[in-house]
Amino acid sequence: MAEAAIQGQAGDHGQSAQAVYHQRTRMRWSKRQRHDIFQWLREHSEGIVNKMESNDQQNRQRAWRAAALTWLRRQGLITLSQNQKTVTPFPSSKVS
């Protein structure tokens, strides 16, 4: 049943999410562009790490993911939206 819901939202004519994914035009960057992107990601993630209290591996990984997310959003390759549901381990009466 979950797959049917995905198919209905994924594309026209009841296509699966996988079919829609494979039909899209693949983006290509030149070697120079990939180098520039990597350089931007590295510099941006280093800036994030420098603002953190500790420079451990976990924080470096978090910073890299944050930098990648920022780059993808700025390029218009992804959009983020907040789910309207509140997810919490606490009863709703305790959350204000």
In a domain, 12, yes or no: yes
Q: Which domain holds residue 53?
A: 2-75
In a domain, 81, yes or no: no
Give pTM, 2 decimals.
0.60
In a domain, 82, yes or no: no
**Predicted local distance difference test score (pLDDT) of residue 2:** 39
In a domain, 80, yes or no: no
Which of 40, 21, 44, 19 lies closest to 29 in space, CA to CA? 40
Query: Per the structure block, which two tokens stand in for 21?
Result: 């994914």
- Cβ-contact 50, 67 below 8 angstroms: no
Sign of CA dihedral 52, 56, 59, 61: positive
Structural domains of the chain, count: 1
Rg (CA), the chain: 19
The residue with greater pLDDT, 84 or 22, is 22
In a domain, 10, yes or no: yes
In a domain, 88, yes or no: no
**Predicted local distance difference test score (pLDDT) of residue 85:** 65
Tens of pLDDT, residues 14-73: 677 777 777 777 778 899 999 999 999 999 999 999 999 998 999 999 999 999 999 999
In a domain, 53, yes or no: yes
Sign of CA dihedral 55, 48, 87, 78: negative
